[in-house]
Amino acid sequence: MNIQNLMHINTEKCVLCYACVRNCPVKAIEVSSSASIPIQILDKRCVGCGACYEVCPYDAVVYLSHKEKAKTLLQGKKKVIALIAPSVASEFFDITDHRKFAQMIKQLGFSKIYEVAFGADLVADEYKKLFNKSKGKFYLTSNCPVVVSNVEKFQPELLNNLAPIVSPWIATAKLVKEEYGENAHLVYIGPCIAAKEEAKRYEKIVKTDAVLTYEELHELFDEFGLVEKNLSFSEFDGPKANKGLLYPISNGLLQMMDESEDLLHSRVITCEGHSDFVNSLKNYNTDVNELQSHLNIFYCNGCNNGPATHKRTSKFIKQKQVVSFAKKQIKNLDKKQWEKDKAKYNSIDLSTSFKQDDQRLPQPSPQEIEQILSEIGKDKDHYVTGCGACGYANCTEFAIAVNKGLAETSMCFTHHHRKHQELLLHLTKAEEKIEETKDDLLRSEQQAQEDKLAMEEAFQISNVMLQELPSAVIIVDQKLKILQSNKGLINILGAEAQDIAKVIPGLVGADLKNFLSYPIQKLFNFVFNSNENIINRDIHLGDEIYTASFFIIKEKEIVGAVFRNMQQPEIQKEQVIERITEVIDKNLEMVQKIGFLLGEGAAETEQMLNSILQTYKQAAKESGFQIDSIQDLKK
């Protein structure tokens, strides 16, 4: 993974548990489900403390690695000098002799090994001078890069209180550069992730080419197969340290300065640990006049417990290991040589300065905070309390983070839970509605199937009735295309029409113009255009005279016609009337019941039957019958 920023979250591993958000002391983690990256560490706000890295249970947080860079340096032609932090005594406790450890470092390709503990001795002297001449001004120690970064970004009003002294490893880098100049590369090895950014701060003054954490060093030992039992002894190079070996313990600086820790006489308060880190700085800013003390402050519980160290032993065991190693080394220390070495590097400038990099975001108005709190369902009783599941101290702090774009309301557990319950209720109701709809659809489908069968039956009945009528019946559309015709018409039209009807029953789709004369076509067009029926009009079909009735089935769209042969005997007329009466009597009741289902087909059939009825009423009248209704036909 190519990481450019100091800290990075692998979103493929992240499950949005917010453990990193809860533990970030400066809230440098942005959560946004609407963004392309749902969670990220904001590099400008990050102080490099590594809290997110330590607490992530899914190994989703990673930091910028210099391992490959160091390997490239070790393969080059220049000397590569290792600067080893004094906390190494508590980190590689499984290596029983420091001389074996030195040999393992050199087997990696390092030319020399310098102890940062000597740089700590030099820095301690500078602090002693500063505190002795402070004249009522009180200082924060600036050995911890996390403290320095936090003051620059979030407590800039304390910039003038930061001790203007470089950290021990920068002091060591300066003396090594003075010794070797540009003929050597420098690699710092220690417990701190933030040191990688600290190297950038001083790159124009003293260039450190790579910063390795202890974790990265362990990986290199494993990669190169280096184990203690296979190696001989070797020694650290450069000047030997005195009490600087105690630097990894938080109050080690006071021991190095010979500063009294007697509660009655001490002028320095020591603060350590990330839980008190931010509050200590805030309180110091407001209470320094009452405290009247310098503040020796570390983000971690001493450098022994940096974020890139092993966690297999307790803080106290690590402290004991550092003290034991220091006792052994100091016992064999040549004090005169140590004094000479200090004098030799006395001219090195260990001063520094700091600059403001204010990353504080504008505070929202009370109304904006109220609006967000209302949105997540919090009342005034919750403003200064909260469950902390979102990662913020209380609900108001969370609302401020939402306003600043660092968080979103879905991070509120109680709000999210309530919304979840509301969603479940909504889904339950929706599911019930779906089941009801499914039942309705099933019933509709069954009804539709029944309706379809009824329509098909009605159509078959009307079609049979139409075909069996002795008179000729034809139905056409506005283009005079035949929609239906019966056997009576086809028989009248002759052999050609009968042959076509064998292939196309009822001549459906055929052009009326091909079968009936132009005068008859005009009568059809008249009915279409005038919307008026034509009853009992005499026409010629071949050599015979027919009485024709033209009637509207669907206005402007469908017209039907009935042709009766006037030369048929009267008895045949009576038979026709009797047959029509029988068919109508049998089917009219069914047609009426399913009329709304038959749609246009039923409507057309009823209109056609009524038209036929009107035609035969006229014929019956001429024959001496009185027919005014269906009941008269039955009589």
State the Cα torsion 376-382-383-389 to the nearest 10°: -70
Name which of 139-148, 446-455, 483-492, 562-571 the model is least confident about: 562-571
Residue 125: predicted pLDDT: 95
The arithmetic mean of pLDDT across residues 320-327, rounded, is 91
* pLDDT > 70? residue 572: no
Contact in structure between 271 and 18 (CB atoms under 8 Å): no
Model confidence over 336-351: pLDDT tens digits? Answer: 999 999 999 988 999 9
What number is the average pLDDT over the span 425-444? Answer: 87
509 close to 482: Cβ distance less than 8 angstroms: yes
* Angle formed by the axes of helices 274-291 and 145-154, nearest 10°: 70
What torsion do the CA atoms of 392, 398, 404, 406 make, to the nearest 10 degrees? 50
| Average confidence (pLDDT) over 374-379 | 77
For residues 551-566, average pLDDT: 88
Task: Give the per-residue pLDDT at 312.
Answer: 81
Q: What is the pLDDT of residue 399?
A: 84
- Mean pLDDT (the chain) is 84
| Residue range 73-91: mean pLDDT, rounded | 93
Q: What is the mean pLDDT of residues 390-419?
A: 79
Structure-model confidence comparison of residues 132 and 602, the more confident one: 132
Superfamily of domain 449-634: PAS domain (3.30.450.20)
pLDDT at 626: 54
**In the numeric block, which tokens belong to residue 241?**
């340290």
Q: What are the start and end residues of each CATH 3.40.50.1780 domain in the chain?
A: 65-224+237-344
Query: Residue 542 pLDDT more than 80?
Result: no
- Burial code (b: 16+ CB inside 10 Å, e: under 16) for 164-194 equals ebbbbbbbbbbbbbeebeeebbbbbbbbbbb
Containing 22, the helix (H) or strand (E) segment is helix 19-23
- 326 pLDDT exceeds 80? yes
Provide, rounded to the nearest whole percent, the portion of the chain with pLDDT above 70.
87
- Summarize the confidence of residues 251-275 as an average pLDDT: 87
Give tens-digit pLDDT for 242-262.
Answer: 999 999 998 999 999 988 888
Q: What is the pLDDT of residue 117?
A: 95
What's residue 362's pLDDT? 83
Instruction: Enumerate residues 6+ apart whose C-beta is below 8 A from 29.
Output: 9, 20, 21, 39, 40, 41, 42, 52, 391, 406
Q: Is the pLDDT of residue 383 over 80?
A: no
Return d(Cα 320, Cα 323) in angstroms, integer. 5
Tokens (6 digits) for 482? 């035949």
Domain with CATH 3.30.450.20 in the chain: 449-634
Q: With 60 as the cut, is the pLDDT of residue 523 above it?
A: yes
DSSP string, 354-408: ------PPPPPPHHHHHHHHHHTT--GGGTT----TTSSSSHHHHHHHHHTTS--
The residue ranking higher by pLDDT, 405 or 106, is 106
Mean pLDDT check: name the lowest of 169-173, 477-481, 600-604: 600-604
Is a pLDDT exceeding 60 seen at residue 628?
A: no
Query: pLDDT tens, 473-521?
Result: 999 999 999 988 888 888 888 888 888 888 888 888 988 888 888 888 8
Most confident of 23-37, 376-390, 452-466: 23-37
Question: What is the DSSP pairing of strand 544-554 with strand 558-565?
Answer: antiparallel
Q: Compute the average pLDDT of residues 55-82.
A: 94
Residue 291 predicted with pLDDT over 60: yes
Where is average pLDDT lowest: 54-68, 525-539, 565-579?
A: 565-579
What is the residue whose two structure tokens read 């001219």?
347
Q: What is the 3-state secondary structure (H, E, C) of 440-499?
A: HHHHHHHHHHHHHHHHHHHHHHHHHHHHHCCCEEEEEECCCEEEEECHHHHHHHCHHHHH
Tell me the pLDDT band of 585, cut-offs 50, 70 and 90: low
Confidence of residue 591 (pLDDT cuts 50, 70, 90): very low
Q: Which CATH number fits domain 65-224+237-344: 3.30.70.360, 3.30.56.10, 3.40.50.1780, 3.50.50.60?
A: 3.40.50.1780
